[in-house]
Amino acid sequence: MSSKVKVLITGASTGIGATYAKRFAERGHDLVLVARSVEKLEANAVELRQETGVSVELLPADLTTEAGLLAVEARLRDDSSIGILVNNAGSNVGGTFVTQRIDDLTKLVTLNATSVLRLSHAVAPRFAEKGEGSIINISSVLAFAPEWQTSVYTATKSFVLLLSQALQAELGQKGVYIQAVLPAATRTEIWNFVDEDKRPPLMEVAELVDAALVGFDRREAVTIPHLHEELRWQTLETARQALLQDTGHTTAASRYLEAK
Ligand SMILES: NC(=O)C1=CN([C@@H]2O[C@H](COP(=O)(O)OP(=O)(O)OC[C@H]3O[C@@H](n4cnc5c(N)ncnc54)[C@H](OP(=O)(O)O)[C@@H]3O)[C@@H](O)[C@H]2O)C=CC1
Ligand SMILES: N[C@@H](C=O)C(=O)O
């Protein structure tokens, strides 16, 4: 049993989540791994136990179902040894808004957004009470790019970013750390829905996660590993705050006043 806090990672069977599992195991954290594919989870668990000696528990769950969400929420609420939650599970769907099936879109929202909300809410009271605990939410740079790709996926990633920033504002003062990680194109199976010749240049997943963990160790609120010019993010945030400061008027802006 590790003396370090236990880490629960969703979407830990492949890609970014599986790499987070490897890295946290290498740091000596016991793990709880969540995904649908028991076979992949078991294979990862065997390798991680052999390589690092940490405890690895599997919690197979489909986070687009009520039963799956309830099972993981209960574990997060009841297991006080879990001190880090990585909300990573996510998917995308191909096609355009008008061609995508609404069932697929509602599942996408449940996985990418509702699961982040519900699992964060399952741990936040305990973390706040204890005055410590971390939540890593995997958003995307597409949170800034509604015109770039499928609309609903982008909207879910904007939700994750804004929720993370709001929770950091509320819970940071109580000792809880919330990190929003915004990857850009990274080599994982999520790209399977895009033809190989249509994919952008991809960052290797270990490079992405290692950079994100540097941000985590620095307690950075928003971590954007692909963004080389940090000033671009800082400028966006400054402009956002300035916009908010200019919305306290009681009369409409002159550009909306019709000539009398
Ligand atoms: N790769 C990239 O370019 C980028 C990825 N991201 C985000 O990174 C996160 C991880 O994605 P990535 O590693 O790339 O993709 P992968 O497809 O490689 O991994 C997705 C993970 O989520 C799990 N998952 C999918 N559906 C469900 C479900 N219904 N219930 C529970 N788990 C589920 C999968 O496991 P299983 O199928 O076994 O359930 C898998 O472990 C996502 O949130 C994604 O939006 C953000 C920006 C860029
Ligand atoms: N392309 C998206 C993943 O599918 C993303 O960059 O978030």
124 within ligand 1 shell (Cβ under 6 A): no
pLDDT at 149: 63
- Tell me the CA–centroid distance for residue 181 and ligand 2, in Å: 13
91 within ligand 1 shell (Cβ under 6 A): yes
- Tell me the CA–centroid distance for residue 248 and ligand 1, in Å: 40
Whether pTM > 0.95 for this model: the answer is yes
Known active-site residue 20: no
Tell me the mean pLDDT in the region 95-100: 92
State the Cα–Cα distance between residues 81 and 32, nearest whole angstrom.
11
190 within ligand 1 shell (Cβ under 6 A): yes
What's the whole-number average pLDDT of the chain?
96
Ligand nearest to the CA of 15: 1
Pick the atom of ligand 2 nearest to 140's CA. 7
Pick the atom of ligand 1 nearest to 185's CA. 3
Per-residue model confidence as pLDDT tens digits over 129-140: 999 999 999 999
What is the number of other CB atoms lying within 10 angstroms of the CB of residue 81? 12
Per-residue model confidence as pLDDT tens digits over 218-258: 999 999 999 999 999 999 999 999 999 999 999 999 999 98
- Architecture in CATH of 6-229: 3-Layer(aba) Sandwich (3.40)
DSSP string over 130-175: HT--EEEEE--GGGG-TTTS-HHHHHHHHHHHHHHHHHHHHHGGGT
pLDDT at 205: 98
In DSSP terms, which residues pair with 186 in a beta bridge?
203
112 within ligand 2 shell (Cβ under 6 A): no
94 confidence band (pLDDT: 50, 70, 90): confident
SS3 labels along 25-83: HHCCCCEEEECCCHHHHHHHHHHHHHHHCCCEEECCCCCCCHHHHHHHHHHHHHCCCEE
14 within ligand 1 shell (Cβ under 6 A): yes
- Tell me the CA–centroid distance for residue 13 and ligand 1, in Å: 9
Residue 254 φ then ψ, to 5° = -55, -30
Ligand nearest to the CA of 187: 1
What is the number of other CB atoms lying within 10 angstroms of the CB of residue 34? 30
- Tell me the CA–centroid distance for residue 142 and ligand 2, in Å: 7
State the Cα–Cα distance between residues 158 and 180, nearest whole angstrom.
11
2 confidence band (pLDDT: 50, 70, 90): low
Three-class SS state of 178: strand
154 within ligand 2 shell (Cβ under 6 A): no
* CA-nearest residue, atom 38 of ligand 1: 37
Pick the atom of ligand 1 nearest to 160's CA. 43
